[in-house]
Structure 1
């Protein structure tokens, strides 16, 4: 964990260098992914089964790939009632939040008499990657599938690494209405969704987080299909004054550090004594945290405490452009309203980021690696597309046609010009 003091000479340069440190995908990962994608594109389902043996150490047949409806029902039923209730609660809130994002179609006639407008239509098929390995992720299912269903996507195909499917994941799939689940993970799952492989039909867009191999695969298939984003390690910035309970703030910092040794947690405070109390609380909590090994590595290698006036916090947050930022202050809006670059903002001492991860209703799939400077979190808009509509009658065309001819001639595109001129009787 690094410490920065706003009052010390060289703060700006040292802080900027810190936030610009890159955690790039190793070249060998990209090379391996390229070969996996090519194999799946060439060999289809045979490649999926081969990679399942090689990477996941499981022996599957083509018939084993799809999770049956009976398995989904049985798995969901095996989930504890309190978790099922929490999943239903979260799903309802996520659905309500995202349904409010639905835009309206428009149709109007402008001053030239041209009828113009646009309409929104859902994507036909979406693939959702749900990681396995480190933990079970029912929230990933909900945050990706519920907005897709709310948008009206007809086919939602979920892929997840083979092995024991956690009851909570299956319960979340059932709550979100997902009935198509495939036992395939890694780059080969991305390839199957992009190109198709045996019984797995291709989709139009792939969403959902994954490891470096999954991210590299999404980067390579973009263009063949759409993707949500290239997700990097998790990030949190907590802006806190000395009136907070240091144990609370330490827990908030570790809530992201536990995701991955490459995750990043940063505290900005104006109180040096409080900063030391938080640092001490982090160390105390790491001793009993089940995910302490990863969290300790994250805090050690990428964590930071910044001592600075709170009025400087919005500018520092914008420089970081974090995935999540908490304002644990008396009047959080006074500072948060000045922030331009953040994936999600959490206001007040009783709004930890973990609330947003699960049940607030807003989406937890957010831009990382400073991408909040130019992109937004996952939403209903990721599952719909806009089509422009134009209609001219004779009077309207008489106004637009000559200008079309002039601009087409200026660009040296005579067929474009003729397409308009011929309707004006000018050929």
Structure 2
């Protein structure tokens, strides 16, 4: 079920990854563009039409916003597990409270002050997927960092279930966090509603949360009108393991990823042939007992594999090339090995740190960069719900001291008005007149290149 790649075959594995996972991306792009235009033009009516077309449920405008009665029913349905949900939410909140960025101001010798002012976004939209299964954990992992950041207005959208309502598991998670505005809309149309606003759903400043290829493409197309967190693809895990690893643990972690989606990636990187063989056997035996075997088979065939390296250094190089969303280090000394890993969204160190812990319980958000984007992207965090303003206060003393240098830079770029904005202040304060017509200013030439 899990193919072994070694020597030249490893190149074919990477080539397959580099080819991408959406061969029909042009079709998706066109379909999403049409959906977004319809939502922008028709608002709630378009959302109801697409709910019938894509989700198979008949809806009207009044059904878009989840009701207090639905929230109450969700509370009753999940009353037994509520203590566990609240404990998980508390862990997530405490983690994000630890690394809140702060404003600062620094005073210079001449009295000038420079700094950064950080403020939360006004309104954000959290997309909670619900296609193959409801994901209340994704609501926790997107909403809680936004709350910790200080966002006052948080909107949640999630696809309808067969009954035409948001999954009770998702509604209950929203209730626990005090989120009252949960809308029954999914797919690209939900992203469009958040970006453009409809009669029922207000426009937001940023859209966050994982979704399928249509959701991701919609986020790509609305970026610029609103901000987004990232363009996430199917989930993935890479396990780096040595001869000390437990093959059953490794196999279990690979299968936990593979059951997500037929396009999920599950890869073992090792230099131990004995371990590779043992993991293959364990994958086959464990998978036979799992309820999502059909999804797992496709996932492991299309996006899974075991990469057998010559040595540890080559294995580490492959891991950095993959830059995985999740990385498990099943090695003798995971902390020492971590020093040579540069690219990963979340790192699970040691055999007792399964990815499942990160999905639900540990604290960091499980919204992570995928498809190699961990080379330059980071997990969702409080800073993603905040924005910075640069603060610049120059004293008269410092402007007079630095005026000549600033004017020289403006001259270099041919921007005489820039130079004049400094010179007029210095000359006026020293008893002179506005020097805009002086030879030094009028002699400047060149096209403006920026402000």
Q: TM-score normalised to the size of structure 2?
A: 0.90
Q: Aligned pair 1:368/2:366, yes or no? A: no
Q: What residue is the counterpart of 1:198 in the other structure? A: 199
Q: Distance in 2 between matches of 1:310 and 1:167?
A: 47
Match of 2:402 in 1: 400
Specify the alignment match of 1:102 in structure 2.
Answer: 100
2:50 aligns with 51
Q: Tell me how far 1:18 sits from its aligned partner.
A: 4.3
Task: List per-residue Cα deviations over 1:103-131 (Å, max 9, x = no partner).
Answer: 22111112443211111110000001111
- Pairwise mapping of residues 28-427 of structure 1 onto structure 2 (< 5 A)? 28-82=27-81, 84-162=82-160, 163-308=164-309, 309-425=311-427, 426-427=435-436
CA gap of 1:18–1:53, structure 2 versus 1, over 3 A, is: closer
Partners in 1 of 2:404 and 2:43 — Cα distance?
Answer: 53
- Larger CA deviation: 262-271 vs 214-223: 262-271
CA distance in structure 2 between the aligned counterparts of 1:314 and 1:89, rounded to whole angstroms? 36
Shift of 1:245: 2.9
The question of whether the paired residues in 2 share the 8 Å contact of 1:314 and 1:336 is answered with: no
Corresponding residue pairs, total: 423
| The 10-residue stretch of structure 1 (157-166 or 320-329) with the greater mean CA deviation from structure 2 | 157-166
Q: In 1, Cα distance between the equivalents of 2:247 and 2:422?
A: 70
Q: Does the residue aligned with 2:327 lie in a helix, a strand or coil?
A: strand
CA–CA distance in structure 1, aligned partners of residues 166 and 197 of structure 2: 23
> Secondary structure of the residue that 2:198 maps to in structure 1?
coil
User: By how many angstroms is 1:12 displaced?
Assistant: 6.3
1:19/1:54 CA distance change after superposition, 3 Å: closer
Q: Could you tell me how far apart the structure 2 residues matched to 1:271 and 1:354 are?
A: 25
The C-alpha deviation readout for 1:276-314, integer Å capped at 9, x for no partner, is 121111112222211111111010111111222334332
Compared with structure 1, are the counterparts of its residues 410 and 311 closer, same or farther at alpha carbon in structure 2 (3 Å cutoff)? closer
- Inter-partner Cα distance in structure 2 for 1:116 and 1:231: 36
Instruction: Check 1:318–1:167 CA distance in 2 against 1; reply closer, same or farther (3 A cut).
Output: same
Name 2:448's counterpart in structure 1. Answer: none
Structure whose alpha-carbon radius of gyration is higher:
2
Distance 1:138 1:177 in 2: 14
Structure 1 counterpart of 2:430: none
